[in-house]
């Protein structure tokens, strides 16, 4: 028995149409976050909400669901990771989940999160959590309603039912366990680093550096590592992100600070890593599972790999220093690549997640993971949130935010309704380390290539092994297939220990 080609084509057309409307909504949101006039927010929220409602109607269309059910029966004999089987399987999963939400809830969520992001942006600028609190309370109530709908007839916890959208099949207890394991290794490592007499000199990354020169520098670095500017662009926003507005329109956004070079440089490389993944997906399957990213954690592994495993390596600075001297500041001529290497691997407690070093970063994630589980479970109210946030930073990292903007208001996620999203960051770090260990073994010349600015072979390896399969494999299967092992914390821990113990001599 084989699948009905006509039905398959119908289903693909239908899914592509929904994807196109989604890219239009995403274009409006990109615009909203790159300079839309301040008074335009209310109408923009209505526009985005209208489009999202159209997308939801298409994705939950009854006839489409019937066609998917028919195809599912026919697909049993297909190779499970082939394009056809994956298309049918993943569209089916999406249809079943989406169909659990009534249209009015989708509309209310859409409006609340568009307004929530506007409210967050204003509150962050005003450094005043109270301005954002009512919007957050509304979003939280709607997300609980959404989670309750999702988990009807399953044994998932309320939190898991939300997590599932970002990390399919992820289990709350399992995550808590892995995070605890990682933490138990990181805490003594960070303490040892704090005690080390060997500390980096940060002068070389503090500048100050002219913002226009930083822009040119980031553009050049992103292009060098493989981001294609004929199919993308690099802009600025308050919270960096990457968005896909079409098969040939991948946009990355970063932010620059005159006195902190790593902010703009690694922010750009991070988003370029996301962008290179999106540009490496198969365009002829755009809008369908084989042309979509595998999961958010795999997405994050790509951004982290370029940012950290590549961008924070000694070899990378051997290549980058002459460019930095030329484009950024000629006075850098006196600085060595090793000084930059150490300065960009400075480890220590800090308040802002997106600026955190590789070692402390996961502690930021664990705080958010714990707090959002408490919010969803109802064990923590939005009134208590800022104090709980500050208390956790004090207890876990030893520093206490003195402002909302540097504390609870620093991330866009909750204002956009993204509960269950944060853990994918740490999963991404784990996968990046495991992938990089694999590619290092496969390409003995890799370090030399990086040191000479030859990023093509690494990019090609990632394309073939990670990008081109798209969503034909779920995260655990993809990791197993590419690395030969199940996902594990060991590669990240050993990567960090090797690098940091040599720099800090512990």
Nearest residue (CB) to a copy of itself, 38 versus 184:
38
d(CA 363, CA 403): 19
φ, ψ of residue 136 to 5 degrees: the values are -65, -40
Instruction: Please check whether residue 93 is in contact with residue 168, taking contact to mean a CB–CB distance below 8 angstroms.
Output: yes
The annotation status of 270 as a binding-site residue, yes or no, is yes
Structure tokens at 342: 């150490």
Shortest distance (Å) from residue 27 CB to a copy of itself: 6
Shortest distance (Å) from residue 376 CB to a copy of itself: 33
Nearest residue (CB) to a copy of itself, 37 versus 197:
37
d(CA 28, CA 460): 32
Residues near 159 by beta carbon (within 8 Å), at least 6 away in sequence: 147, 172, 372, 373, 376, 377, 419, 420
d(CA 301, CA 279): 15
Of 175, 455, 205, which is closest to residue 305 (Cα–Cα)? 455
Phi-psi region of 287 (alpha: psi -120 to 50; beta: other; left: phi over 0): left
DSSP per residue, 60-112: T-HHHHHHHHHHHHHGGGS-TTSHHHHHHHHHHHHHHHHTTS-HHHHHHHHHH
Return the axis-axis angle of helices 172-195 and 361-377, rounded to nearest 10°. 140
Q: Which helix (H) or strand (E) holds 192?
A: helix 172-195
Shortest distance (Å) from residue 42 CB to a copy of itself: 7
Return the axis-axis angle of helices 423-442 and 361-377, rounded to nearest 10°. 140
How far is the CA of 341 from the CAs of 4, 334, 455, in angstroms?
Answer: 57, 14, 18
By CB under 8 A, tell whether 103 contacts a copy of itself: no
Shortest distance (Å) from residue 270 CB to a copy of itself: 20
DSSP type of residue 320: H
How many residues does this entry show for the chain? 506
Q: Which of 271, 307, 358, 372 is catalytic?
A: 271
Shortest distance (Å) from residue 233 CB to a copy of itself: 6
Helix locations, 196-260, DSSP H: 203-206, 211-225
Shortest distance (Å) from residue 23 CB to a copy of itself: 7
Helix locations, 196-313, DSSP H: 203-206, 211-225, 261-280, 296-304
Of 1, 5, 6, 43, the residue at the interface with a copy of itself (CB under 8 A) is 43
Of 12, 24, 137, 187, the residue at the interface with a copy of itself (CB under 8 A) is 24
Count the site residues for a copy of itself by CB under 8 A. 33
d(CA 449, CA 417): 41
Stretch that binds a copy of itself, among 34-42, 188-196, 371-379, 486-494 (CB under 8 A): 34-42
Give me the residue label for tokens 């822009």: 215
The annotation status of 14 as a binding-site residue, yes or no, is no
Shortest distance (Å) from residue 146 CB to a copy of itself: 25
Of 7, 10, 12, 20, the residue at the interface with a copy of itself (CB under 8 A) is 20
Tally of CB atoms within 10 A around 333:
11
By CB under 8 A, tell whether 107 contacts a copy of itself: no
Nearest residue (CB) to a copy of itself, 56 versus 373:
56
Of 1, 39, 62, 173, the residue at the interface with a copy of itself (CB under 8 A) is 39
Hey, which residues between 238 and 297 contact a copy of itself (CB under 8 A)?
245-251
Nearest residue (CB) to a copy of itself, 35 versus 398:
35
Chain centre to alpha carbon of residue 47: 26
By CB under 8 A, tell whether 229 contacts a copy of itself: yes
Q: Is 185 a catalytic residue?
A: no
What is the per-residue binding string for a copy of itself in 51-90, x denoting contact by CB under 8 A?
x---------------------------------------
By CB under 8 A, tell whether 449 contacts a copy of itself: no
Nearest residue (CB) to a copy of itself, 50 versus 452:
50
By CB under 8 A, tell whether 9 contacts a copy of itself: no
Nearest residue (CB) to a copy of itself, 23 versus 362:
23
Instruction: Please check whether residue 26 is in contact with residue 241, taking contact to mean a CB–CB distance below 8 angstroms.
Output: no
Nearest residue (CB) to a copy of itself, 229 versus 395:
229
Secondary structure string (H, E, C) spanning 369-393: HHHHHHHHHCCCCCCCHHHHHHHHH
By CB under 8 A, tell whether 44 contacts a copy of itself: yes
The annotation status of 300 as a binding-site residue, yes or no, is yes
Of 3, 15, 18, 23, the residue at the interface with a copy of itself (CB under 8 A) is 23
By CB under 8 A, tell whether 153 contacts a copy of itself: no
Nearest residue (CB) to a copy of itself, 252 versus 503:
252
Of 2, 4, 13, 42, the residue at the interface with a copy of itself (CB under 8 A) is 42
Nearest residue (CB) to a copy of itself, 274 versus 392:
274
By CB under 8 A, tell whether 21 contacts a copy of itself: yes
By CB under 8 A, tell whether 476 contacts a copy of itself: no
Of 496, 166, 257, which is closest to residue 362 (Cα–Cα)? 496
Stretch that binds a copy of itself, among 44-52, 201-209, 303-311, 318-326 (CB under 8 A): 44-52
Which residues sit in the known binding site?
A: 270, 274, 300
Binding residues for Zn(2+): 270, 274, 300
- Binding residues vs a copy of itself (CB under 8 A): 17, 20-21, 23-24, 27-28, 31, 35-40, 42-44, 46-47, 50-51, 229-233, 245-251
Point out the residues that are catalytic. 271
């Amino acid at each position: 028995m084989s699948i009905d080609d006509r039905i398959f084509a119908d289903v693909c057309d239908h899914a592509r149409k929904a994807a196109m409307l989604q890219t239009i909504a995403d274009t409006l949101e990109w615009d909203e976050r790159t300079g839309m006039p301040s008074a335009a927010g209310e109408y923009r929220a209505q526009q985005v909400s209208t489009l999202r409602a159209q997308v939801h109607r298409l994705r939950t269309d009854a006839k489409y669901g019937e066609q998917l059910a028919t195809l599912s029966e026919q697909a049993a004999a297909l190779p499970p990771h082939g394009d056809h089987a994956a298309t049918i399987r993943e569209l089916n999963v999406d249809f079943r989940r989406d169909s659990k939400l009534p249209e009015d809830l989708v509309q209310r969520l859409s409006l609340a999160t568009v307004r929530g992001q506007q409210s967050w942006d204003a509150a962050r600028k005003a450094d005043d959590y109270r301005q954002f609190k009512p919007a957050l309370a509304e979003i939280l109530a709607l997300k609980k309603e959404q989670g309750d709908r999702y988990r009807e007839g399953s044994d998932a916890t309320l939190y898991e039912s939300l997590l599932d959208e970002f990390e399919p099949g992820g289990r709350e207890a399992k995550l808590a366990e892995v995070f605890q394991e990682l933490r138990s290794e990181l805490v003594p490592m960070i303490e040892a680093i704090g005690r080390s007499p060997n500390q980096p000199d940060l002068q070389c990354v503090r500048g100050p550096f002219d913002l226009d020169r930083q822009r040119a520098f980031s553009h050049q670095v992103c292009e060098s590592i493989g981001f294609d500017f004929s199919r993308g662009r690099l802009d600025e926003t308050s919270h960096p992100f990457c968005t896909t507005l079409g098969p040939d329109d991948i946009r990355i956004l970063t932010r620059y600070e005159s006195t902190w070079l790593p902010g703009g440089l690694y922010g750009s490389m991070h988003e370029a890593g996301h962008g290179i993944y999106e540009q490496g997906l198969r365009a002829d399957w755009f809008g369908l599972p084989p042309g979509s990213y595998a999961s958010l954690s795999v997405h994050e592994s790509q951004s982290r790999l370029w940012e950290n495993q590549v961008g924070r390596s000694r070899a990378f600075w051997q290549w980058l220093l002459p460019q930095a001297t030329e484009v950024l500041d000629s006075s850098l001529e006196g600085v060595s690549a090793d000084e930059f290497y150490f300065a960009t691997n400075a480890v220590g407690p800090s308040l802002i997640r997106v600026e955190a070093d590789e070692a402390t970063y996961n502690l930021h994630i664990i705080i958010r993971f714990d707090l959002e589980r408490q919010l969803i479970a109802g064990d923590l109210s939005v009134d208590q949130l800022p104090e709980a946030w500050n208390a956790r930073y004090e207890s876990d990292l030893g520093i206490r935010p003195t402002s909302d903007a540097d504390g609870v208001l620093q991330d866009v996620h909750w204002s956009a309704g993204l509960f269950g999203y944060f853990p994918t960051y740490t999963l991404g770090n784990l996968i990046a380390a495991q992938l990089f260990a694999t590619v290092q073994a496969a390409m003995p010349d890799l370090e030399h290539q990086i040191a000479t600015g030859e990023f093509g072979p690494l990019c090609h390896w990632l394309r073939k092994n990670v990008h081109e399969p798209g969503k034909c494999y779920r995260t655990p299967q993809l990791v197993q297939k590419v690395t030969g092992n199940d996902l594990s914390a060991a590669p990240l821990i050993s990567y960090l220990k090797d690098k940091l113990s040599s720099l800090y001599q512990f």
